[in-house]
Amino acid sequence: MENVKKPFITICTPVYNQEKFVEETLESVKAQTFTDFEVVIVDDGSKDNSRQVIEPYLADPRFIYVYQENAGVGAARNVAIARARGEWFCHLDGDDLFTPDALETFVRLAKSAPDLNFVYGNMEMFSPDGTKRTALTPDFFGSGDIRHLIYSKYGYPTASVMVRTEKLRQIGGYKTDLPLLEDYDMYLRYAHSGLNAASEDKVVALYRVLHGGKTSNLVRASKFAAEIAESVPETDPALRKCLRKAIGFHKSRYHLMSAIECGPENKKEFLRHVVRSIYYRPRRQKRAIIAAALTSIAMVSRTKKFDGLLRKLIYGAQEMPWAEESFGK
């Protein structure tokens, strides 16, 4: 039996009701300057015409289509992990895009040093109104053992990262019992098992922001992110400190978003959440400290004249990370 050459990279593309966007996504894959790849398209029970849009691409043997009953993005990604033949594994959701040289950049990084298992670039977020913003600031980038960054930086965009397929299998892939943030959980577990990274502050992926996140989703996500970070069984004191930084960030955001949710009209609850937010990140909360002081004055004087200012202060204190901009996407 003739041996079939395995591709260097497997691209995982989960799709759920994305007939409007998946063609553009797959075109961005076809346009890659590096061509030794396969793309496993996992249709997670789409009810629209996604299958019909995908069908023409299956004439290219590098494009593989798998259908499953709706089970969530974590389960879809696990299907791709199980089917993957590539030495390296990367993600591209069915409404996002790669830049033409994304895979070429990944491969160059992967071959830049021995025994690497984690390479990444940057990502640009774009909205229908034309707004664009780079996802990661320069302090997110590093090389070698970057567990301190993965632990403390609150999340890396999946489309900007390429990992070793076998290592991804060894950690068990994605958990399918998580209601959200399965990618954040996976990267923390992947980091805990040992990292040797290379990176470049270059945009390799474009993330489509379909709509702003609902406050209620962000409250839930921030609380859940703290629980995920707390579950990492890290014993190294310096790395535990990095995790505590992330946990404090998530808990502070939970209370900030809760303050927004209840609004300054409910001043007692508003003040409680603002104060708790300050407690978890005391050095980064100038606006929240001012809001707490004004709320206290307003409660004593029984005035509502600060309410508009309080909203502006709390919204300005959010420092919303890229990963929470489009929950419900």
148 vs 261, higher pLDDT: 148
Q: Are 134 and 163 found together in one domain?
A: yes
Cβ proximity of 160 and 122 under 8 Å: yes
Q: Are 234 and 300 found together in one domain?
A: yes
pLDDT at 310 over 90: no
User: CATH number for the domain including 154?
Assistant: 3.90.550.10
| DSSP label of 77 | H
Two structure tokens written together for 324: 């929470």
Structural domain range at position 150: 9-208
Separation CA 55–CA 49 (nearest Å): 10
Q: Are 197 and 53 found together in one domain?
A: yes
Across residues 175-196, what is the average pLDDT? 94
Separation CA 229–CA 43 (nearest Å): 30
Q: How many CB atoms lie within 10 A of CB 238?
A: 10
Q: Are 204 and 282 found together in one domain?
A: no
Q: Are 192 and 97 found together in one domain?
A: yes
Tell me the pLDDT tens digit for each residue of 46-76. Answer: 999 999 999 999 999 999 999 999 999 999 9
pLDDT at 301: 81
Q: Are 199 and 242 found together in one domain?
A: no
Confidence (pTM): 0.89
- 227 confidence band (pLDDT: 50, 70, 90): very high
Q: Are 170 and 221 found together in one domain?
A: no
CA angle (33, 22, 67) in 5-degree steps: 110
pLDDT at 179: 85
pLDDT at 323 over 50: no
Which string of b and e fits 188-223 if b means at least 16 CB within 10 Å? Answer: bbbbbeebbbbbbeebbbbbbbeeebebeebbbbbb
Q: Are 20 and 138 found together in one domain?
A: yes
